[in-house]
Structures are given as structure tokens and as C-alpha cells.
Structure 1
Amino acid sequence: MKKIKFVFTALLAGGLYMAQAQTTAKHEDTEVYEPVPKVVTPGKLMSEGAPSDAIVLFDGKNLDQWVKVIDGSPATWTVKDGLLTVDKTGGNIETKQKFTNYQLHIEWRVPANITGSGQLRGNSGIFLASLGKGDLGYELQVLDSYNNPTYSNGMAGSIYKQFIPLANAARKPGEWQTYDVVWTAPTFSADGKMATPARVTVLFNGVLVENNVELLGPTQYVGKPSYTTAHGAAPIKLQAHGDKSEPISFRNIWVREVSLQTPTVEAKKM
């Protein structure tokens, strides 16, 4: 009986410790300020339209491919002059279609008159796989990172709170920025455990900033990421961040579904 009582007491103490650790966690705990990526001046912006096999998600005309995350109703962000501008009262939006492995092209612009600093300056995000309401999923950060210091794993080009970009290739506010992304979705075994992690490669204004990095799990604002929920194909989500700075705009959004199978060529018979 004493042994059983000791084990029970130890388990109870361990549970209390874990609960206390969770309640004392802060978002600052996972903010990394060093190293600071070197500044790289990007080349000229090249925007020549989508490839022939691409699915066009936004061509400047309408939001037919998007819905509100909160309830699946039609997206209500502003479409004007060929641009899609965040409506912070409209909440996050995501694609109607779900994707597994893909190539994504998206262009975004921070207003020239942007105010605020740090994370409160043109903040948004591209969730490469949306996992439900709110900010659930795997986030590629969108932010004004031109002469705007913040934690390195929260700047533009970062996989938010996970991977610092290899370089800071940000253009000035008012200029268009480009992300080209290759996303490989995670896979899960029959028992729901992660079998292979998500991977992502990101070019920021033509500069490689994430090189086939292996994600630790979905984005977490507080605490460390981990794979806790199995999922399959998922929508792509755009974030309506709650900061008070002027809203950013998007244009020229397209995606190409990608097969992970490598074509094989049979050797010719001699």
C-alpha cells in the first residue's frame, strides 16, 4: 500500500508541475532575437502571370475561391483596383479547396504610410495548411521587416516561432513583396501519430530564406509546437491580424498541386 501511495503521490505531483508550467508559459518564451538575418537587396520583381496548370486563387476580380474561416460564408475582404486588401473586421479567410503538397505564389504589400513597430506593423500571415478557426495551422509570417526590428523568428520570411529566415530580403513599405513556396504536408500513421513531418521551402523576393526545413508542428504563439492532431489535405489561410496598423494587400495568388513521386525512365534494351 505504501508503494502504491508513493506512486500516486508522484504522479499527482508531476501532474501539478505540468499544469503549473502551462499556466506560467508566456509568448516571450519562444521569441528568438539572435541571430539576426543579414540584409539582402532583392532583384527586380517579376510578375508574369500563373503557369498553365496553376489554380488561380486570386486574379484581381473576386473572392470566389475564398470563404470566411469562422463559418464558411463568402469572404468579405476588399477587392478594388485588382487588389485584395485585408478587412480586419471580416476575420481570417481560407480557400474553398483543400491541398496536400503544392507550389504557391503570392504577392503582398505593406502600405507606404504604415505606422506602428515590431509585430504591430503590417502583420499578417499565410497559413500553409489551415487547421480550423482562429490562427490554427502552419504560418509563414507576413510583416514589414524593412528597418523594423523584432524577434528573428517572427519577422517576414520566418516560419513563425520556429525557423528564422536565412536572409532579410524585405523591400520598403509601399513596394510589392513576393513569396514562392514549396509545401510538403505532414503524414500520419493509422494511430494518429506523425509519420513524416511537414517541410517547406520559401523564396522571399527571389531570395532563398527557408531551405526545405522540417517543421516541428503547427504554429504556437505560446509554447513549443508539436504534432498533436492528425489531418489530411487542408485549405490555405490568410490572416486578418488584430493590430491597429494599416491593412496590407495581396495580388497574383496561384497554386500548383505537386506530386512527390519522381518519374522513372526505363533503361532501353540493348
Structure 2
Amino acid sequence: MVLCAIVLLVSQVSGQRFLNGIVWPEPPVVTPGEGSAPPSDAEVLFDGKNFDAWNGAKDWKIDEDGGFTVKGVLKTKKSFGDCQLHVEFASPKVVKGNGQGRGNNGIGLMDAHYEIQVLDSYNNPTYPEGQAASVYNQKPPMVNSSRKPGEWQTYDIIFTTPRFSDDGKVKTPGYVTVIHNGVVVQNHSEIKGFTHYDRATAYDKHPEKLPLVLMYHGDPVRFRNIWIRDIKEPVGKEGKKGPEGK
């Protein structure tokens, strides 16, 4: 401990950075979008122009404000794994029903194996793990940051897919962070398995990339401005450890 302290002190006095033994690649440049617009490396899934990225939207209409009303299950043509997802949605302005019967939909990650709940949770009590921004039937959001019915809301979701060994056992579980209308409501929450409604939570092995699904539970929920980014942790290489220049 004394030797380490001396080395650190000498490095600070001499102005030398202490090398941690890992050489990192230069991070690629990504240009941020303005407001909720996608960054330069994002894949746009819906921008108010067409449904080219989706299966299931045949003959659907796009509204004047660039949104659309869900009439059935939508699934992306492309598969995704670890990702950053931005979605904007609005529950019906005219309130009908209560609890799970009000503005119910869902963001289905990995072919809907893992659902982030979409619900009108503004003055609408229901079971906590079923309200807006919950990991459905597993974990409620930390707070309820829902806007009024009919107002546009945002989800920014950072998802890490689970990994499985060859025999189907879980090597690492899935994790999700959800920012609802600018408020962190899920903070690297562990996903316990498929988000079933009517049976116990459990994992089944699946590929590391699967389609994204906008689910449908009979309510006319609207969506717009959907984009996604593949995310990948940088990989460092072994390098020198100790004071720089030595």
C-alpha cells in the first residue's frame, strides 16, 4: 500500500498519467439529434412517412401529426439485441375503462418475450407491476411520471439481452433501464425471465437478436418517432501498466 501511494504521488508530481493496463479504441463519432430526433447512427423505424420497417401495418393510415393508431400487432422486419430505443406514444384522449383496460399496449423486446408496459397510468390505479413503464408483471417503475390522457409521452429504453450457454442455462440475465418522460423509472433492472401474465416467470433460450414488437391489447394507442441504436461495449487490449512514459 505504501509503495502504491508513493508511485501515485510521484506520477502526480511529475505530471505523468498512470496507465491502467488497458488500451482502448478511439470512440466513434456520433452526432446527437436535436430534441428527440435520432442521433446519426440510429436506425429510424418510424418517422411519420411509411411503415417500411414493419410487418403488420398493411393499409394503415398515418395521422396529420405524423403518428398512427395501433390496430394490431406490429413487428419489425429486422432483429435487434442490445439496444437504445426511443418511442413516443399517446393514450386515447377520451378516457374509457380503468386499470388494465385503459390505454393498454406494450413495447415487446426480443419478439415480445420481455414487455415494457404501455398504459394510461394518469390517475388510474392498477397493480404496480402492471402500470406504465413497468417490466410487466415483474417490477414496477420507481415513480409514476405519466402525462395526461392524449398527451404525447416518451420512453427511452436501454436494453441488454440475456445470454445463454449451449445447454440453455442463463449465463447472464437481461437488464433494462427506462426513462419515462425524462424521468428514470427503471435503473438497470434485472429481467427475471419472460414477462408472462398467467404463469410463472422463467427464461427459455433464444437468439441474441430478435424483432421488436408493438403489442396490441384492443386499445387505440398512438405511436410516433420510433428509432433504435445497436449498442456495443468497447473492447480494450492489454497494454502497459504504470506511470506513462516509463
User: Shorter-chain TM-score: what band?
Assistant: 0.7 to 0.9
Is the contact made by 2:164 and 2:205 (CA closer than 8 Å) also made in structure 1? no
Name the aligned partner's letter for residue 67 of structure 1.
N
TM-superposed CA distance for 1:85, in Å, is 1.2
User: How many pairs align?
Assistant: 209
Aligned counterpart for 1:256 among listed residues 208, 224, 229: 229
| Residue 51 of structure 1 pairs with residue 24 of structure 2 | no
Evaluate the alpha carbon distance shift between residue 66 and residue 223 of structure 1 in structure 2; reply closer, same or farther with a 3 A threshold. same
Question: What is the CA–CA distance in structure 2 between the aligned matches of 1:165 and 1:117, rounded to whole Å?
Answer: 19
Aligned to 2:163: 187
| Residue 202 of structure 1 pairs with residue 175 of structure 2 | no
Evaluate the alpha carbon distance shift between residue 264 and residue 138 of structure 1 in structure 2; reply closer, same or farther with a 3 A threshold. same
Task: Describe the SS at the equivalent of 1:107.
Answer: strand
TM-superposed CA distance for 1:193, in Å, is 1.8
Question: What is the CA–CA distance in structure 1 between the aligned matches of 2:122 and 2:177, rounded to whole Å?
Answer: 22
Question: What is the CA–CA distance in structure 1 between the aligned matches of 2:187 and 2:170, rounded to whole Å?
Answer: 21
The 5 Å alignment of 1:126-141 reads 126-130=107-111, 136-141=112-117
| Residue 235 of structure 1 pairs with residue 223 of structure 2 | no
TM-score (ref. length: structure 2):
0.80
Q: Deviations over 1:140-186 (max 9, x none)?
A: 00000000010000000101000110000001012111000100001
Is the contact made by 1:66 and 1:75 (CA closer than 8 Å) also made in structure 2? no
Give structure 1 regions of 4+ aligned residues with deviation exceeding 4 angstroms: 262-268
Question: What is the CA–CA distance in structure 2 between the aligned matches of 1:151 and 1:187, rounded to whole Å?
Answer: 30
- When structure 1 is superposed on structure 2, of 254-263 and 91-100 the one drifting more is 254-263
| Residue 65 of structure 1 pairs with residue 53 of structure 2 | yes
Superposed CA RMSD in Å reads 1.8
TM-score (ref. length: structure 1):
0.73
Name the aligned partner's letter for residue 128 of structure 2.
S
| Residue 215 of structure 1 pairs with residue 191 of structure 2 | yes
Seq. identity, %: 47
The 5 Å alignment of 1:39-118 reads 47-68=35-56, 75-81=58-64, 82-87=66-71, 91-118=72-99
Question: What is the CA–CA distance in structure 1 between the aligned matches of 2:36 and 2:226, rounded to whole Å?
Answer: 12
TM-superposed CA distance for 1:99, in Å, is 0.7
Is the contact made by 1:99 and 1:257 (CA closer than 8 Å) also made in structure 2? yes
Question: What is the CA–CA distance in structure 2 between the aligned matches of 1:269 and 1:212, rounded to whole Å?
Answer: 38
Task: Describe the SS at the equivalent of 2:85.
Answer: strand
Task: Describe the SS at the equivalent of 1:255.
Answer: strand
TM-superposed CA distance for 1:114, in Å, is 2.4
| Residue 168 of structure 1 pairs with residue 151 of structure 2 | no
Task: Describe the SS at the equivalent of 2:204.
Answer: coil
Structure 1, unaligned runs of 5 or more: 1-45, 69-73, 131-135
Question: What is the CA–CA distance in structure 2 between the aligned matches of 1:93 and 1:206, rounded to whole Å?
Answer: 25
Higher helix share: 1
Higher strand share: 2
Is the contact made by 2:147 and 2:153 (CA closer than 8 Å) also made in structure 1? yes
Question: What is the CA–CA distance in structure 2 between the aligned matches of 1:63 and 1:172, rounded to whole Å?
Answer: 27
